[in-house]
Chains A and B, each alone.
Chain A
C-alpha cells in the first residue's frame, strides 16, 4: 500500500509535501516546526510548549482564540503539540476550507508578534501551570514524564530537562523570550508543511505560494550541541520515587538506536514483542502467567537525534512489593537476553504493527503528520511508504542481536514508583533518591 506524495520547496525554504486522496471531502493541513524542548536555553525550560500555547492567541489579522473559532466554524478540528525535537500544528477541515487553514497558519508564521501582549502571556503561563498540575503533579506517577528523560540523559544533554518546564522557569518567561524564540525558530526554512486529502495539487501550490511565499527566510538557528551518546548507559541507573500511589510501578529504560536508523526498526519490533498488546511477552508472562503485574507495556520515544529510548512500563499487582516488581521484570529481561525471542513472536509483532500503521493512514490528519515527520527529520517524506517494508525486513536474528547488545544490565535505567510511607502532607519530590551502580 502506497500513498501518493509530491514535494517542493518555496524560495524562502518552506518544504512542502502533498498527498492527494479524494475519498472524502476532507483535507488536513499539518505544519511541523523543527524546534522542541531540546532547543530551550537554560533557565527557560518549558518555553517551547508555552510558546505553542501562544500560537493560539492570535496574530496580526486574527484575534485571540479566533484561530480556534474560525477553524471550528468552518467545521474543522485542530490542535498543536510539543515534543523534545519538534512542535506541530494541525487542522483537518472540509476540503472547501483549505485556504482558510493555510491562511491562518501563514498569518501566525508571518505575523505573530503584533498580537502578543503581556496579558496573553500571563494568562497562558497560568494555563500551562494548570496543565502541569493536571497532567503531572496531581496525577499518580505523573512526574515520570520529566523524571525518566532526566535519569536517562546526562545533565548537559538537550533531552535531559523537562518538556513541561519548571514552575520557576515558566514564571521567568518574558515577552522578549517570545519575540526571540519566534524570530529564531518560527521561520519557513525551519518548517515543513504537509497537506493530505481532497485537494487539487495545482490549487494547493498556488495557495501555498500566495500565503507563505512572502514570509522571509530566518537568520538561521543556533546549532544543537553534539547529541551523540555512547550506545550503552554503562551501568544500571536507579531512581526510587515515593509518590501518592497505591501500586508500585516500574519504568525500565534502555538506550536504543535513533529513530529512523535500520537498527531502530529492530528496537521498535523488540518493544512490540515485549509489550504491544495482550500477546506480547511481558503481558503474557507477568500479567497472565505469573500474575505479578496489573499491566505491562513497552514503547520507544522515537527520538531522531543521537539516541532513542526503549521503555518497559510495568505496574505491580497489590500484593507485590516494589523490590519484587523490579526483580521479576529484570528476571524476564535477563531470560530474554540469555535465550532470545522466537520467530513467531517477531511475526506477531510485525503483523500487529502493520495493521495499526495501515489503520492510522485512514485519517488525513495522520497521513499529513507522518509526512511531516519524515520530511522534518530526514527531508524524505516518501519514507512513509517504506514503513511497512522496513518493519517486515526485521528478522528474529536482528531483534536478538539488538537484545544482546542493548538489554543487558550495563544499559538499564529504572524509575521505580513506590507508595509514599509518610502519608499526605509531604511533597513528592522531596524524598526522591537517585543512585547509580
Chain B
C-alpha cells in the first residue's frame, strides 16, 4: 500500500457544491380545521398524498392495544359505504395508485402515490375512505386473525422477537410503549367492532387531520381538490394523548429469550432515550452517527471489521413524541455473544469518557449535511419529511436550518450529549439465542442480573 501522504495527493477534489433547498411548501388551515400542506415538485408526473390523523397507537384504550393499527388498516380493507374492501382496492389499483394505510405510535397515515392525471379521481376515493368507512364485521374479524397470525409468527422470528421483547423489558408496565404497537394476543382478541367504530369516531376528525400533497401539482389545485374532498367534513378536534415513557427499572439487567440451537444471537442493548422534540436532538443524532449510526461508526467497525463478530451492528434512537428507545442492534455468532456485548458496552463508555476526534466529527457532520438532498428525491420521501414536521410540531424552517445546525456541532457538544443522554448504568440487554451457549458467559460478564424467558416472554427457570 502507498503511504497516506501519497494517497491523499492522488484524490480528486470536489468542485463547488450546487445550491439545494428543501422543496418550498405552503401550509394553510381550512375552515373545518383540516390542515393542508402542499409542496409542488415538478420532476415527474407523480403526486403523493399523505393524510395524517391524530390516531396513533398511543391512543389505544388500555386493554385494547392494537385498535389504532386495526382501524388504520380497516380504513381501506373494511371498505366504505359505497364499496366493500375488495371493490375499494380495485378502484384505487385500476388507477395504478399505490396506497397503504397504517398507524405508528404518533399518528395514522393513509399514503397514496399516483400519476398526476389520476389525482382528481384518487382524491375523491380518499374522501370516501376518510369520511365513510364501513368497518365490515367480516373484515374486522379477518384483520384480527391476521394480526394473531403475525404474533404467532414472531415466536420463531429472532429479529422481530428481540425488538418486541426489548421494548417490553425497557418500559414500565404502565407504559403503552411496553406493549407491541399492533397489540398482543390478549388485547387483539378482546377488540370488537364497537370499539373500532368508537376509535374512528373519536380520533378521525377534521381538527386532527393533515392533508399533505407533494409532487406535480400547484398549491391552488391541491387546495381545490382538498376542499372538494374534505371541505364539508364536520367534527371537532381529538384531544392529544401523551404516552407514559417511564423505564421499567433503573439498574442493568440481562434478558435471555431461549431459542434452542440458534446459530446466532440477536442482541439488543439500550435504554429509554429522549423525545423527538428534545432540545438536544441535533447533538444526540450526530453523536449517534459516530457511535453506531454510520457504516464507519465505532460500533460497526469494531464488531464487523475488526472482530468479524457480525454482518452489521448499528445504534439509533427511535424518535417519538415521548422518549423512544435508544438501542444498539446486532446479530452475532452465538459463542461470542458475551464478547460482542462487552465491546458494545466499551464503545458506549468510551464515547462518554473522551471527546470524539476531529475526523470522526467531520465524517458525521459532512455526511449528514451532504446526504440531505439525496433524502428527498421522491414525492413520497418529501411527504414523509413533511409528516415529521407536522407530527412533531417542528418549526417551519426546520429543513432549511437542518444542514447549518448539523455543521455547527462540536466535539465538546457531542461529549456533553453522550454524558447527558447515554446511561451505561441503566442498560438493558436482550438476547434471543441458545441459552446453553450464551447464558453462562453472559452471567460471568457481570453485566447485570440474568433472567431466562421462553419465546412468549414468560420467565422460565
> Please, which residues of chain A bring their CB within 8 A of the CB of B18?
25, 94-96, 198
> Please, which residues of chain B bring their CB within 8 A of the CB of A128?
311
Interface flags for A186-205 (1: CB within 8 Å of B; 0: not) read 00000000000010000000
> Please, which residues of chain B bring their CB within 8 A of the CB of A279?
86, 89-90, 92-93
Whole-angstrom distance between the Cβ of A426 and the nearest chain B Cβ: 8
Instruction: State A190–B366 Cα separation when bound (angstroms).
Output: 34
- Category for how many chain A residues contact B: 35 or more
Interface of B is mostly: mixed
Instruction: State A279–B99 Cα separation when bound (angstroms).
Output: 11
Question: Is A41's beta carbon under 8 Å from chain B?
Answer: no
Whole-angstrom distance between the Cβ of B197 and the nearest chain A Cβ: 21
- Category for how many chain B residues contact A: 35 or more
Question: Is B339's beta carbon under 8 Å from chain A?
Answer: no
Query: Given contacts A130-B310, A140-B157, are A351 and B261 in contact (CB under 8 A)?
Result: no
Q: Is the CB of A355 within 8 A of B97?
A: yes
Residue A72 contacts which of B20, B77, B261, B296 (CB distance < 8 angstroms)? B296
Instruction: State A426–B45 Cα separation when bound (angstroms).
Output: 54
Q: Is the CB of B150 within 8 A of A75?
A: no
Q: Is the CB of B17 within 8 A of A127?
A: no
> Please, which residues of chain B bring their CB within 8 A of the CB of A130?
264, 308-311, 331-333
Question: Is A76's beta carbon under 8 Å from chain B?
Answer: yes
Which residues 1-49 of B sit at the A interface, judged by CB distance below 8 A? Answer: 1-2, 4, 6-7, 10-12, 14-20, 43-46
Instruction: State A60–B11 Cα separation when bound (angstroms).
Output: 12
Whole-angstrom distance between the Cβ of B358 and the nearest chain A Cβ: 12
> Please, which residues of chain B bring their CB within 8 A of the CB of A289?
86
Question: Is B263's beta carbon under 8 Å from chain A?
Answer: yes
Interface flags for A250-284 (1: CB within 8 Å of B; 0: not) read 00000000000000000000000000011100001
Q: Is the CB of B98 within 8 A of A364?
A: no
> Please, which residues of chain B bring their CB within 8 A of the CB of A97?
14, 370
> Please, which residues of chain B bring their CB within 8 A of the CB of A124?
308
For the A-B complex, the count of residue pairs with Cβ-Cβ distances under 8 Å equals: 230
> Please, which residues of chain B bring their CB within 8 A of the CB of A291?
142, 145
Instruction: State A278–B139 Cα separation when bound (angstroms).
Output: 14
Q: Is the CB of A65 within 8 A of B96?
A: no
Interface flags for B53-96 (1: CB within 8 Å of A; 0: not) read 00000000000000000000000110000000110011011111
Which residues 65-120 of A sit at the B interface, judged by CB distance below 8 A? Answer: 65, 68-70, 72-77, 92-97, 99-100, 102-103, 114-115
Instruction: State A25–B89 Cα separation when bound (angstroms).
Output: 37
Residue of B with least CB distance to A277: B93
Residue of B with least CB distance to A140: B156
Which residues 373-417 of B sit at the A interface, judged by CB distance below 8 A? Answer: 373-374, 376-380
Instruction: State A363–B294 Cα separation when bound (angstroms).
Output: 21
> Please, which residues of chain B bring their CB within 8 A of the CB of A70?
11
Residue A65 contacts which of B159, B262, B296, B367 (CB distance < 8 angstroms)? B296
Q: Is the CB of B378 within 8 A of A359?
A: yes
> Please, which residues of chain A bring their CB within 8 A of the CB of B16?
96
Q: Is the CB of B304 within 8 A of A76?
A: no
Residue of A with least CB distance to B43: A23
Residue of A with least CB distance to B146: A294
Question: Is B301's beta carbon under 8 Å from chain A?
Answer: yes
Question: Is B148's beta carbon under 8 Å from chain A?
Answer: yes
Q: Is the CB of B372 within 8 A of A351?
A: no
Residue of B with least CB distance to A424: B260
Whole-angstrom distance between the Cβ of A235 and the nearest chain B Cβ: 32
Residue B294 contacts which of A72, A96, A247 (CB distance < 8 angstroms)? A72
Instruction: State A318–B92 Cα separation when bound (angstroms).
Output: 30
List 7 A-B pairs, minimum CB-CB distance, nearest first: A75-B370, A424-B260, A351-B96, A126-B308, A25-B18, A355-B96, A99-B12
Question: Which residues of A come within 8 Å of B, CB atoms?
Answer: 1, 21, 23-26, 58, 60-65, 68-70, 72-77, 92-97, 99-100, 102-103, 114-115, 122-124, 126-131, 133-135, 137-140, 198, 244-247, 277-279, 284, 287-289, 291, 294, 315, 317-318, 344, 347-348, 351-352, 354-356, 358-359, 361-364, 423-427
Q: Taking A97-B14, A134-B264 as given, write out 16 further A-B residue pairs in contact, using a Cβ cutoff of 8 Å, ordered by the A residue number.
A: A24-B373, A61-B7, A77-B371, A94-B14, A94-B17, A99-B14, A122-B308, A130-B332, A131-B311, A133-B263, A137-B263, A284-B86, A294-B149, A317-B149, A355-B46, A362-B379
Question: Which residues of B come within 8 Å of A, CB atoms?
Answer: 1-2, 4, 6-7, 10-12, 14-20, 43-46, 76-77, 85-86, 89-90, 92-98, 113-115, 139, 142, 145-146, 148-150, 152-153, 155-159, 259-264, 266, 294-296, 301, 304-305, 308-311, 331-333, 362-363, 366-367, 369-374, 376-380
**A/B interface sample: 10 pairs, CB < 8 A:** A21-B43, A25-B373, A64-B305, A115-B1, A138-B266, A140-B153, A347-B94, A348-B94, A355-B96, A362-B378
